[in-house]
Structure 1
Amino acid sequence: MSHYEERLSLDLEAIRSELRNVGEQVQAGLDDAIRALQAHDRKLASETILGDMSINRAIRRIDRLCHAFVARHLPSAGHLRFISSVLRVNVALERVGDYAVKISRETVQLSASPPASVARHVEQMSHHAQNLLSHAIEAFHEGNAEMARGAKSVSGSRDSTFSLVFRDLLRVGEGSDRPLKDLLSLIVIFNAIERVGDQAKNICEETIFVATGETKGPKVYDVLFVDERNDCATQLAAAFAHKVFPGSGRYTTAGWGAAPSVDPGCLDFMEQHGLGAPQEAPAALDPSHAALARYDVIVALEPGMRDQIKELPFTTVLLEWDMEKTSVEERYKEICHRVRALMETLRGEGAD
């Protein structure tokens, strides 16, 4: 091994060692924050807050080591991928450390331990987040893309859990004398626990990038077009979106008073303008929380959608387009303009 190769190997090992130590400190800090919350241990919470200072110093050391490595070795290919990913993993770990601090600060402010029903959610969500983080960090250190993919795949959607937590907190607020400040603190805590899982997913994506060179693909959005009858405007919107932005989204239509079939005039218009036959017949809207939660965006093409749903999922955006019922051709022109603007907002001007 040449002197240069030996120096490169030593520098890489120094970065790996520092990152491994930071990962262990961050996981320990998160564990302490959760234990302090569950036991309402203000002393442990305060120690966790102060412990984050050493994590921040270690984070800055890794930054300096990475920048020095780039300046000294001018890396390319695999080494460059590794260093760029270490910098992003470093940010993810720093944020997890910040979440542990946030949990600890809110714990200090709580008047008592979380109520039993809330404590069960703490146990469930924190166990999931901690396991996911542990597997993500292990996969990165081992350079194991398959382990990272496995960890990422089990992360799942936490929107339904978070909504359940929120409803339980409302019940606690209505049925007990806990101060409002406690309930707000618990919401902040649950949000921080949820974000730990997001950072773990980011670490998994960096592992896949280092090991294979694969980058995270652009997000494909689930979009629901909805109105009362689902027999014309929604069909036009979905058809145009399928034709112009096939790679940017999955498009579905529904109606809260769905017609038995697509309007014949609309069918003729679609055929004349090369939109093809509708992707689906008019379908009844399922207004349940679980059904709506699978969509990133719901577009209501006429008023009335909000009256059909009890609760909009936390991560779903509802857009209400106030469109006049003019001729099919005039409505289609407006729909094209609005759908194009929506998809370019979601995916940028290069949306396909």
Structure 2
Amino acid sequence: MDSLNLNKHISAQFNAELEHIRTQVMIMGGLVEQQLTDAIMALHNMDSELARRVIADDQKVNRMEVDIDEHCVKIIAKRQPTASDLRLVMAITKTISELERIGDVAEKISRTALEKFSQQHQPLLISLESFGQHSVEMLHEVLDAFARMDLEAAIEIYHADKKLDQEYEGIIRQLMTYMMEDPRTIPNILTALFCARSIERIGDRCQNICEIIFYFVKGQDVRHLDGEKLDKFLANKPN
């Protein structure tokens, strides 16, 4: 956290408030990362107890989002931040929203795992462990980039989502092959498809956090830039 240089203010309390909410974001991110890791392990190992723990702990993520968001609103109302301070607060509110949604993905995977275990008592046709771990690694890296507001790291992570998309497409092809060969596998395939799609969406959420980093560092919202304009933006690195 120390590597991000914040503006220094006359009010030491303001500095403390900014540092506090940044720290809380990283704590929330760590919790979400653990939730995702556990959900994927629960699915892979058919671990009902671990799946139930992920579901129960989702409330912690939700409470953290509400608490951080309320703190950001109070800072805006009380301190009326401008320039980079305001961008930081806005970046935080947007990031915790993305993290909460990733936490929802972990919960949904765990609920799907529990339902499958109770109804079918058999593992998925294919392993999603490696695919899931790649999404966890992407989340870990983007949280680290956010902590340092590292533009170059964010650019690299943004492009890494293409690899996750390619893995997802490979999984889809494999599952379609199973379905054509044996229609009896369709219920199992639908479960695997849902989980694989949920994991793939995590890469999109990580890309969104990268765009938030771009916004903080460069002061430009790139969410709706087309491919060519975004590539030009990413190529224009800071001095």
Could you say whether these structures have the same fold, taking a TM-score greater than 0.5 normalized by the shorter chain as the test? Answer: yes
Runs of 4+ in 1 over 6 A off after TM superposition: none
Which one has a bigger Cα radius of gyration? 1
One of 188, 191, 207 as aligned partner of 2:197:
191
- Corresponding residue for 1:83? 89
Kept in 1, the 8 Å contact 2:135–2:164? The answer is no
Q: Does 2:224 match 1:214?
A: no
Hey, what's the Cα distance between the residues in 2 that align with 1:30 and 1:78?
31
Hey, what's the Cα distance between the residues in 2 that align with 1:3 and 1:162?
47
Kept in 2, the 8 Å contact 1:106–1:186? The answer is no
- 1:96-135 superposed matches below 5 A: 96-110=102-116, 111=120, 112-115=122-125, 118-119=126-127, 122-135=128-141
Hey, what's the Cα distance between the residues in 1 that align with 2:141 and 2:156?
9
Shift of 1:205: 1.2
In structure 2, relative to structure 1, the CA distance for the partners of 1:126 and 1:3 (3 Å cut) is closer
Shift of 1:210: 1.3
State the secondary structure of the residue aligned to 2:124.
coil
Q: Which amino acid aligns with 1:28?
A: Q
- 1:129-208 superposed matches below 5 A: 129-156=135-162, 158-175=164-181, 180-208=186-214
Q: Does 2:71 match 1:65?
A: yes
Kept in 1, the 8 Å contact 2:211–2:223? The answer is no
Kept in 2, the 8 Å contact 1:132–1:200? The answer is yes
* Structure 2 unpaired stretches of 5+: 1-7, 231-239
RMSD: 2.3
Q: Deviations over 1:49-90 (max 9, x none)?
A: 111011100110001000001011001100100011111101
State the secondary structure of the residue aligned to 2:199.
helix
Kept in 1, the 8 Å contact 2:124–2:189? The answer is no
Shift of 1:180: 3.4
Kept in 2, the 8 Å contact 1:152–1:204? The answer is yes
Hey, what's the Cα distance between the residues in 2 that align with 1:157 and 1:45?
27
Kept in 2, the 8 Å contact 1:32–1:48? The answer is yes
Q: Which amino acid aligns with 1:73?
A: R
Q: Which amino acid aligns with 2:31?
A: Q
Hey, what's the Cα distance between the residues in 1 that align with 2:217 and 2:18?
16
Kept in 2, the 8 Å contact 1:34–1:103? The answer is yes
Q: Which amino acid aligns with 1:188?
A: F
- 1:22-101 superposed matches below 5 A: 22-101=28-107
In structure 2, relative to structure 1, the CA distance for the partners of 1:137 and 1:3 (3 Å cut) is closer
Hey, what's the Cα distance between the residues in 1 that align with 2:71 and 2:204?
26
Please state which structure has a larger fraction of its residues in helix.
2
Hey, what's the Cα distance between the residues in 2 that align with 1:3 and 1:16?
16
Q: Which amino acid aligns with 2:54?
A: T
State the secondary structure of the residue aligned to 1:156.
helix
* Greater relative CO (CA pairs within 8 A, separation 6+): 2
Hey, what's the Cα distance between the residues in 2 that align with 1:217 and 1:106?
31
* Structure 1 unpaired stretches of 5+: 223-246, 249-352
- Count of paired positions: 219
Q: Deviations over 1:145-172 (max 9, x none)?
A: 1111121122216544333322322333
Please state which structure has a larger fraction of its residues in strand.
1
Q: Percent of counterpart pairs with the same letter?
A: 27
